[in-house]
Amino acid sequence: MNAQKLYDIVQDSTRVFRKGESVERGRVGNVDVVELFGYDHISEAPSGDNFDKVDMIFVDVVVDKARAEQYRGALAEQMRAYPQPERLAGGPSYIELAPNMGMEQEGALRVMALGKTLGMWDVMSAKTLGMDDATARQMAGQGFLMISGYKPSE
């Protein structure tokens, strides 16, 4: 896989937006946690028929549909080079996708949203199974935020 090519594709076709405050404080077990979201708020995102907002639990990813379509072939080419095609077909999480694509987790979330918009796969989370936001976020932190699976054509 060419991580730089993937990065260029998501940089040109997707944008990440925060859902809540830029600084969120919470507690995980007995540890105080501070999360920083250095993105514009989703209220500032472009909307309308030309854009697809994909809920990635931690953030929303907005995909420019026209730009996404321009990258359909390039994204499919990158997916054909995925180092573990059997795992890709099985529906990996963002935690597994990121290192296998040579990207950080934000990049994996953006690739997941892009592929969903292009109809290459669906995004699965606790939220898609009807669970509340807090449960979905907790489960996503443990890896339950994944694609439905993808088998690259030859």
pLDDT, tens only, 69-106: 999 999 999 999 999 999 999 999 999 999 999 999 99
Is the whole model's pTM more than 0.85, yes or no?
Answer: yes
Separation CA 9–CA 70 (nearest Å): 9
In 3-state terms, what secondary structure has residue 22? Answer: coil
pLDDT bucket at 5, cuts 50 / 70 / 90:
very high
Provide the 8-state DSSP code for 30: T
Of 113, 135, 136, 95, give the one whose Cα is nearest residue 6: 113
Separation CA 41–CA 115 (nearest Å): 23
Task: Answer for the pair 63, 117: CB distance below 8 angstroms, yes or no.
Answer: yes
Q: What pLDDT is attached to residue 61?
A: 98
pLDDT value at 145 more than 70: yes
pLDDT value at 154 more than 70: no
